[in-house]
Amino acid sequence: MAKISTNSIHGHGHRDGYGSHIPPIYPGVIYEYVDIERGLAVLVDRGNYLRYGREENPTTRALERVIAGLEGTEDSLAFNSGMAAISTALLSYLKPGDRVVLPMELYSSTFALLNNISVKLGVEVVKVWPSAEAVVNSVDGRTSMIFVETITNPTNKVIDVRYICENVDLSKVVFVVDSTFTTPILLRPARYGARLVIHSMTKYFSGHNDVVGGVIAGGGEDVLSLWDWRRMLGGILQPFESYLILRGLKTLEVRFERQSNNAKVVAEYLAEHPRVECVMYPGLSKDPNNSVARKLFERPLFGGVVSFRLRGSYDDVLRFMGGLRLIKRCPSLGGVESMAVIPSKAASMFIDPEHRLLLGITDNLVRLSVGLEDVDDLVEDLSQALNF
């Protein structure tokens, strides 16, 4: 299997008569029938016919080949957002009477969707403490799906995906892993037995805060069945966006490495600062998630997201946020620009209030997504903003 960077550059396999190695942007929505009577156009490699833009697109297909190579799966399917990927996966696999086990700390819109699905489809949603052990202990004979994120947002708990694979009978349970925070640089969950691996490509994959996209990687049969759902629900990623993500992926490894290294410096700086109560970053040796992260991740890198609790009131947090000059006050993560957000006032508002309290998502918690700027400039910005 080709290594990550090689795959992210060459894995699309595109060659054409001009000798170009860059997959072109195919804006075409219609493809002429080869078999006029049966309405069949060109057969593409998934076994489907390229005939209409809601079903397949050659640029998107090139991206899907790269991602399957990165995740080590047979295939992948690209969507016009991370949520389109997640909703398609949930709708295609869940049916009335099913039971889903998931950590109580999960991306807000995934929670909102699951809450709605639970009411509309009669699916039981069981929310447990964000740890692999708690997930495994909550699986019973009725459980049909486990859904986890590899690093939880915003408190940065590492979920030991491998432990779940080794301790649950995955022939009976669909194990879905949202691997957005770790990327294939740190973890390839399908290696251990995860059935579907999902990414919000809006984050590290595209990396430049200029595309919304999502993807599901998995086995050929699963992807083919999801393809049918994508066609019905209409969530295919469009060709220009596919091109941008193909381009972004070529630098995924160098970006992720630099962001992780910058984040570690930022976390270490914050951990020593008198105005900071605690730092949550699995790359810190004192962090309770450090040992599981070191065991699970393929490299000693820990991603670009650092959370910390400020010593002080909510007004102090507002003063700190207001004082930032370089770091942008924005949601999202994984892009080249560093960003800061107050989770309790943003995405984490949708985590159950009693769970928020248990998890320590308080009003003085700040989440940073550390970007590619010079780390000295980032530390200087934090330093002056903490001097309120």
Q: Which positions touch ligand PLP (CB under 6 A)?
A: 81-83, 107, 109, 149, 153, 178, 180, 200, 202, 212, 214, 332
Query: 76 or 200: whose CB is closer to ligand PLP?
Result: 200
Query: 51 or 199: whose CB is closer to ligand PLP?
Result: 199
Beta-bridged to residue 377, according to DSSP, are none
CB of 174 to ligand PLP, least distance (A): 17
Q: Is 325 left (phi over 0), alpha (psi -120 to 50) or beta?
A: alpha
CB of 180 to ligand PLP, least distance (A): 4
- Number of Cβ within 10 Å of residue 78's Cβ equals 31
Report the candidate in 278, 287, 336 with the shortest Cα–Cα distance to residue 312: 278
CB of 108 to ligand PLP, least distance (A): 8
Query: 105 or 381: whose CB is closer to ligand PLP?
Result: 105
b/e sequence 103-113, b meaning 16+ C-beta within 10 Å? bbbbbebbbeb
Query: 153 or 289: whose CB is closer to ligand PLP?
Result: 153
CB of 364 to ligand PLP, least distance (A): 22
Query: 101 or 333: whose CB is closer to ligand PLP?
Result: 333
CB of 332 to ligand PLP, least distance (A): 6
Q: Which residue is nearest to ligand PLP (CB)?
A: 82
Please state, in angstroms and as integers, the Cα–Cα distance from residue 162 to each residue in 71, 133, 165, 175, following that order: 15, 11, 5, 11
- What is the side-by-side strand order in the sheet with 75-79? 75-79, 214-218, 196-200, 174-178, 143-149, 99-103, 124-128
CB of 80 to ligand PLP, least distance (A): 9
Can you point out the beta strands (E) in the chain? 42-43, 49-50, 75-79, 99-103, 124-128, 143-149, 174-178, 196-200, 214-218, 276-280, 305-310, 328-329, 339-341, 365-369
Query: 187 or 276: whose CB is closer to ligand PLP?
Result: 187
